[in-house]
Structure 1
Amino acid sequence: MKNYIALLLITIGYCSYAQTIVKQDVVIKQMVNEVSDKNIETIVRKLVSFKTRHTLSDTTSKTEGIGAARNWIKSEYEKYAAASGGRMTVQFDSFLQPVTSRIDKATILKNVLAILKGTDPTDTRVYIISGHYDSRINNIMEANSVEPGAVDDASGTAVSMELARVMSKHAFPATIIFMAVAGEEQGLNGSTHVANRAKDEHWNVDAMLNNDIVGNTHGMENNLKDNTHVRVFSEGVPSTDLPVRGDSLATRRANTGIISLVGNGGENDSPSRQLARYVKETAERYVEHLDVKLIYRRDRFLRGGDHVPFLQNGFTAVRFTEMNEDFTRQHQNIRKENGIDYGDLPDFADYQYIQKVGRMNLSVLANLALAPAQPQNVVVLTSALTNKTSLKWDAPIGKKPAAYYILMRETTSPYWEKKFYIADTQATLEYSKDNYFFAVQAVDADGHESLPVFPKPAR
């Protein structure tokens, strides 16, 4: 079929290489504008006021320790739920964490989940946004010192909570879960429990957004001040595709076909990379003076985050982190040495920057939760030698899309460069499949787009 219209992405704004579609959803834009830096600052300072939120700190006090913090987070979520018309419910996700190298006694941990149930009973998709509410200082096992954790990670927790406040008043076909997890500093304990639960209970997690250290705009070592960039970390070859001990690459390819994209150019087109590109395009459409930097790594060196357990369970996930981290703040005892202040204190956070990060998250979550699901069984036909490209796919499960986009880019380009509007579930383009990369996404009549799907080769 040649039933398509070539649609070039429009380049606008301060970032000359960013492709941005100028059409905005009015309701999403209103939600984006409602995200408040004042509310975010209030949340961060309240979390800091508990003195310590160390995973092993006090759970009985009403004013100090991780127990008081999680009870307050839950009570705030419940306030937001009251405005949801019964769509949002709040729960502790409790579990017994056994002894590890960073947990010296079996401990009950509690994640806090605010679940905004989708309105379409046939739509099983789940979108998750998370920050971790525990904190630490130099000694990872010190539970009862002053451990403010303003940026790491009250900032990410505040993003999750503020978005719950704003989005609870709106309805979405798909389900959105706003999480605050514990045990991140002790070994990703809380997120691991949720990710395992999601797999065991067959949650259809379409995307997971992890916000961790998203509140600082000053890099101490290089003295850089930057409130216009945010990093999105995404893995290449999926964690579930990596060979395990005694398992060869050739065997996995032959027996499962899991890594059939590797060698065909798919190394940079994992589901998480597609999500990262989606974040960049969508966020820069809605948030002024924000440039999303795609970082082609699962995480930073020597570090890990709460998106990792989701990746390891086969879900699509990315991590958001500020552009230039200030390591005099992270995991530091509060002190002053050689004229330098140490400690993750709230006075050093940039709340208007956290607001931008929150708006970025909201624009992505809202568009995804309103869009049709991803197209199914997307393939590029390789049965003939030709300088054209033929693709076909099946309609997504659930909501019927108005149409589809075929995305195209140079093999050396990090961003999708052209879009072709397709009314059918197959198309032939006058471009060589050997010279370009392609993907397919579903779109509804209002322009809400699903995540792109990279095609597998098929004869």
Structure 2
Amino acid sequence: MRYIFSIIFIASGFISWAQTAIVKQDQQIKTMVDEVSSQNIETVVRKLVSFETRHSMSDTLSKTIGIGAARNWIKAELERYSKASGGRLKVEFDTFTQAADGRRVATPTVMKNVLAILPGTDPLDDRVFIVSGHYDSRASDVNDAKIFAPGANDDASGTAAAMELARVMSKYKFNCTLIFVAMVAEEQGLYGAANLAKRAKAEKWNLAGMITNDIVGNTYGMETGIKDNRSVRIFSEGVSVVETPEEATRRASTGTENDGSARQFARYLKEVGERYVDQLDVKLIYRRDRYLRGGDHTPFSQLGYAGIRVTEMNENFERQHQDVRKENGVDYGDLPDFVDYEYTRKVTQMNLASLANVALAPREPQKVGIVTSGLTNKTELKWESPVGEKPVGYYVVMRETTSPIWEKKFFVTDTKAVLNYSKDNYYFGVQSVDNEGHESLVVIPRSVR
């Protein structure tokens, strides 16, 4: 597969010539993508379902039933992957006590996220990327901790995706740190994610992006009759809730409400994911989450991190949050036989390709700016290289103001560029690139004199 992209090459900062370029797949990333196994994903989903319920308030002492048995199995499985990585994958419980909330947590409860941390190999690259699914489950009554709650699609599918990413990627080396997470208590109020987000802030992680895979295994919309095994949604916010008044003023004057860090991360997953995964259409949804709903990326977004949600195109509400039963000839309940494992494999491959590409890429350019010292119909940009690093070059990316994705890339080896396109009519960004074509995330320029 080859990904066709319009690229214009620039010499000495000015346009020299133009051509249609072919962005080739990196063979190492392609090998990793091909290693993702639908059979492994299905095995994990069915194993998680076998615990009967993974309700966050369920049994923690049994070795075969409940949330305790589930988290212990997840940890042991990730430790098995760690052995295959030569011990580089560090597995741990992220343990916390969740206070009673008078709603879905009746008494203070010890809860545990399961983390598998793959440290980066570049001492100068302190970036961290998190990818997660939530391993807890529920049925119709969110407070029933004993009823059979298989949670195959919601969200054993996302947990299996994160675990499969850990299995494959831990055998390789990346510049920066990747953290694979099975999150707890999503159904009780996003408590596992909230705890991990607070930890990231307290420990001052340079968290460059967080992905939650939540409900990524269904391809049939029962209500609509739509069958779609190639479309996947990525939800992202455009404006951060921690935006300062100064940042809000700048955004309003430049019209960059669609260019927050989460939205750039979502665009990145679309471009790189579709580059490596056949028969997959990534739909960018310009909302933080579904209408009036939330997920495990939300606590990260609320602290200013680039949190995004990956979710199937058409949710099936006869299977989601339902007691297992047959009623009027309709099967209700989130059972493993209803999961499309080939579809989950493609979604997992999209995650992998994007995370691998960004984790192998140079760090982002610094102090990116559009020069506004004079009125002109040209656009002059300038920036600085990442500290201690000199990428082989940079892409200046450009799109129409009405376009959801970047449409052109201008390759330069300098740290400046002058384009015959007006900043009034287009949006621009800059990303670093290495010899293998791995691109950093896009940085949106500020106005500079």
TM-score strictly above 0.5: yes
2:80 corresponds to 1:79: yes
Aligned to 1:102: 104
2:13 corresponds to 1:2: yes
2:209 corresponds to 1:198: no
Distance 1:398 1:35 in 2: 34
Distance 2:440 2:118 in 1: 19
Gaps of 5+ in 1: 11-20, 242-251
What is the CA distance between 1:458 and its match in structure 2? 2.1
What is the CA distance between 1:399 and its match in structure 2? 3.8
Are the counterparts in 2 of residues 6 and 421 from structure 1 also a CA contact under 8 Å? no
State the one-letter code of the partner of 1:51: E
Shift of the 8–154 alpha-carbon distance from structure 1 to 2, 3 Å rule, reads: farther
Distance 1:304 1:160 in 2: 19
Distance 2:388 2:110 in 1: 38
Shift of the 196–42 alpha-carbon distance from structure 1 to 2, 3 Å rule, reads: same
What is the CA distance between 1:422 and its match in structure 2? 1.1
Aligned to 1:63: 64
1:442 corresponds to which of 423, 427, 432: 432
What is the CA distance between 1:5 and its match in structure 2? 5.5
State the one-letter code of the partner of 2:146: N
Q: What number of residue pairs does the alignment pair up? A: 437
What is the CA distance between 1:22 and its match in structure 2? 3.7
- Report SS of the residue matched to 2:421: coil
Partner deviation per Cα, 1:309-360 (whole Å, 9 max, x = no partner): 1111111121000000000011100111111111000000000000000000
Shift of the 259–134 alpha-carbon distance from structure 1 to 2, 3 Å rule, reads: farther
Partner deviation per Cα, 1:172-217 (whole Å, 9 max, x = no partner): 1111000001000000000000011001100011111110000000
Give the TM-score of the pair, scaled to structure 2: 0.95
2:309 corresponds to which of 280, 297, 319: 319
What is the CA distance between 1:456 and its match in structure 2? 1.3
State the one-letter code of the partner of 1:352: E
State the one-letter code of the partner of 1:173: N
What is the CA distance between 1:156 and its match in structure 2? 0.2
State the one-letter code of the partner of 2:444: F
Deviates more, 1:232-241 or 1:343-352: 232-241
Distance 2:247 2:360 in 1: 32
- Report SS of the residue matched to 2:84: coil
Distance 1:259 1:53 in 2: 46
Distance 1:370 1:187 in 2: 34
Aligned to 1:133: 135
What is the CA distance between 1:229 and its match in structure 2? 0.4
What is the CA distance between 1:425 and its match in structure 2? 1.1
Distance 1:99 1:77 in 2: 30
Aligned to 2:4: none
Give the TM-score of the pair, scaled to structure 1: 0.93
State the one-letter code of the partner of 1:341: D
State the one-letter code of the partner of 1:434: D
Aligned to 2:55: 54
State the one-letter code of the partner of 2:395: Y
Aligned to 1:358: 348
Aligned to 1:224: 226
Are the counterparts in 2 of residues 151 and 346 from structure 1 also a CA contact under 8 Å? yes
Shift of the 122–351 alpha-carbon distance from structure 1 to 2, 3 Å rule, reads: same
Aligned to 2:115: 113
Distance 2:16 2:305 in 1: 33
Distance 1:288 1:236 in 2: 28
Distance 1:7 1:109 in 2: 56
Are the counterparts in 1 of residues 14 and 419 from structure 2 also a CA contact under 8 Å? no
What is the CA distance between 1:400 and its match in structure 2? 2.6
- Report SS of the residue matched to 1:206: strand
1:286 corresponds to which of 251, 254, 276: 276
Distance 1:26 1:193 in 2: 37
Distance 1:415 1:126 in 2: 24
1:386 corresponds to which of 368, 376, 381: 376
What is the CA distance between 1:239 and its match in structure 2? 2.1
Distance 2:16 2:121 in 1: 33
Are the counterparts in 1 of residues 236 and 286 from structure 2 also a CA contact under 8 Å? yes
What is the CA distance between 1:301 and its match in structure 2? 1.4
What is the CA distance between 1:398 and its match in structure 2? 4.7
Cα RMSD between the aligned structures? 1.3
Deviates more, 1:371-380 or 1:436-445: 371-380
Distance 2:20 2:237 in 1: 25
Q: Work out the percentage of aligned pairs sharing the same amino acid.
A: 61
State the one-letter code of the partner of 2:377: N
Distance 2:308 2:298 in 1: 8
Shift of the 395–258 alpha-carbon distance from structure 1 to 2, 3 Å rule, reads: farther
Aligned runs of 1:25-424 on 2, under 5 Å? 25-100=26-101, 101-241=103-243, 252-253=244-245, 256-257=246-247, 259-424=249-414
Moved over 2 A (4+): 1-10, 256-259, 397-400
Are the counterparts in 2 of residues 380 and 389 from structure 1 also a CA contact under 8 Å? yes
What is the CA distance between 1:392 and its match in structure 2? 1.0
